[in-house]
Amino acid sequence: MIRARLAVAFRALAEVFANPNLRRLQLSWGIGWSATTAYVLALGVYSFDIGGAAAVGVLGVLRTLPGSLAAPFASTLIDRYPRARVLAVGLGARCVLGVCTVLAVLQTAPLWMILMLAALDMALSTTFWPAQAALIPTLATDPSEVTAANASSSLMEGLAVLCGPAIAAGLLVWTGPSGAFWAAAALFGIAATFGWRIHPRAARTEEDQQATEAPLSRDDRAPAVDGASIESSAPRDDGPWAAALGGISALWHHKSAGFIALMYLAFTGVVGAVGVLTVVIALDLLGMGLGGAGLLTSSAGIGGLLASVATASLAGSRRMAAPFAAGLFVVGSAIALIGGFPIQVVALAGFAAYGAGYTLASATSITLLQRLVPDDVLGRVMGVLEALYALAIAAGSIVATLAVATLGPRWALGVVGVGCLATVAVALPALRAIDRTADAGVSHEHIALLRSLPMFAPLSVATLEEVAHRVIALEVVAPGHVIITQGERGDRFYVVESGSVGVTVDGVAVPSLGPGEGFGEIALLKNVSRTATVTAETPTRLLALEREDFLATVAGYAPAHRAAGEVAAARLAAARPRTGMV
């Protein structure tokens, strides 16, 4: 069983790195995260050396507030402009800022100036994770690849948490803070280079990606359905505030996604607390010296590295809520264990377990959100989470700082660990309900069939997976059976899975349709009666998508709606001077 799971995991990871764009994204993510962990560790040690635990707490707050304000607005860039370019430019700007931090340290600038540079770095970083998370569904070619890519991201993050702090810790000992900051700046530059080389598939051009955010014109909008207009799940872009709040609106509309987002933020608060406690444990509770914090963080990286392989074995499964809860349970238990047994070997083991739980919870929660949130607002949803992530980190930092000051390090660890476990216990019924509604039997063949149609090709794999859940697999239609009749009201869109169908317009036969071809879109898009009669020529297997689901999917993404309109126009032109085809 374990061998089979490992085989699935390694195969999934290999498929991710065989995809050139996903490979570049993973490298950009891993190197960029290494730079972040090195930079943050250097800041933490530098601040503690000058101002003690209180300075570390202040650093945690100042590294979050600017980001929480900037993230909702910065995330609108992710849905408006090419996501890979937004990712690369943000990393390049952080490289420049890292160089500025080095110069400030070498000039022995006051601590407040270093803290302000840290705050600016956080503001610049607000596009990093949202862009990376929003890019994965658009670069993946299969739903299982989304899960595998998130697991791979956790793998790269684990390597980063292992390597970044180790590099920073060594440089802190040998060269002082300036060397660690130099290393972080160089890593940011390398990550930006990989990000710039990402080229999304041709179906999602830069023009289309900008069209995702732009409101549909009057001519582009789907027709009324029984008097109601079908529009995108995203709110209308009435200005920067409306665009920035689009992610909040989407989370409010999609209740399950909103709940997962809340759980993710609670988990993030624990991560913020651990960020403060790591330095306190190393320097105060265990007396491990300047390199101690890096050693503990690297131990967490090892645990995360191992867990990422296990997480990759979940590729293809839609049941992610239970693994998410398991990851949170491991995180809370590990923190409480360190507080109960404050010795170095337990701390190292506890941080390894914490890293494993963190990796599992992070990868599964992001996969859930990518599947539950429509692609046209995914960047803004991730931006909202980035903003609230910053606030959650700040809250966790404040709680940890106050707990250390009032209760001491051991009780502070106990409060954070037990609080995490209690949150899991309260949320477990709702998480189980989400898993019960997940259908593990999604047909990858149906997704591939949908993607072969021009109108569905521009959609992300996560959106296609959701559409595949809504299609109806009909019983085999016998030869001679009339599927739709000219003049009747259109209520479904059909795709031929196998067999062939004949088409007649005003009693005159036109070319038949075979596997991988769809029909029925004209009546739905133009809100008119059926313009042709379609009859099965051979035993035919069909997929059907209800009118409302078809229009909501096509109208929700401008490139898809434009492609559907082009297909309809081509068919009408081919059938002239008759009234048209289906």
Residue 325 in tokens: 């809860």
Burial annotation 476-500 (CB, 10 A radius, 16+ → b, else e): ebeeeeebbebeeebebbbbbbebb
User: Within 10 A of 18 (CB to CB), how many other CB atoms are there?
Assistant: 10
Query: Are residues 387 and 67 in contact, defined by beta-carbon separation less than 8 angstroms?
Result: yes
pLDDT of residue 237: 45
pLDDT of residue 510: 83
β-strand pairing of 224-225 with 228-229: antiparallel
Residue 223 in tokens: 């027709």
Query: Are residues 98 and 347 in contact, defined by beta-carbon separation less than 8 angstroms?
Result: no
CA angle 446-531-580, nearest 5°?
100
Name residue 541's beta-bridge partners. 498
User: Within 10 A of 576 (CB to CB), how many other CB atoms are there?
Assistant: 8
pLDDT of residue 457: 73
Q: DSSP for 418-467, please give it.
A: HHHHHHHHHHHHHHHHHHHH--TT--HHHHHHHHTSTTTTTS-HHHHHHH
Query: Are residues 391 and 68 in contact, defined by beta-carbon separation less than 8 angstroms?
Result: yes
SS3 184: helix
pLDDT of residue 501: 92
SS3 384: helix
In order of their start, the domains of the chain are 10-199+247-437 (1.20.1250.20), 444-575 (2.60.120.10)
The 8-class DSSP code of residue 506 comes to T
Query: Mind listing the pLDDT tens digit of every residue in the chain (582 residues)?
Result: 555 555 655 666 677 888 888 999 999 989 998 998 888 888 877 777 776 666 766 776 666 666 667 766 777 777 777 888 888 998 999 999 888 888 887 877 777 787 788 878 877 777 887 888 888 877 877 666 777 787 778 778 767 877 888 888 888 888 888 888 899 999 999 999 999 999 875 433 334 444 433 333 333 333 333 333 333 344 444 455 555 566 777 777 777 888 888 888 888 889 888 888 888 888 777 777 666 777 887 788 788 777 777 676 665 566 778 888 888 999 999 999 888 888 888 888 888 899 889 888 888 888 888 777 776 677 778 877 877 777 788 788 888 888 888 888 888 888 889 989 998 999 888 888 877 765 545 566 777 788 788 778 767 666 777 787 788 888 888 999 999 998 898 888 999 989 999 998 888 888 888 998 889 888 888 888 888 899 999 999 999 988 888 887 776 566 666 767 777 777 766 665 444 444
Torsion of CA 379, 380, 384, 390, to 10 degrees: 50
Q: Note the residue count of the chain.
A: 582
Q: Which runs of consecutive H residues, i.e. helices, occur in 198-288?
A: 206-213, 240-244, 246-253, 255-280
Integer Cα distance of 318 and 396 in angstroms: 30
| C-alpha R_g of the chain | 26
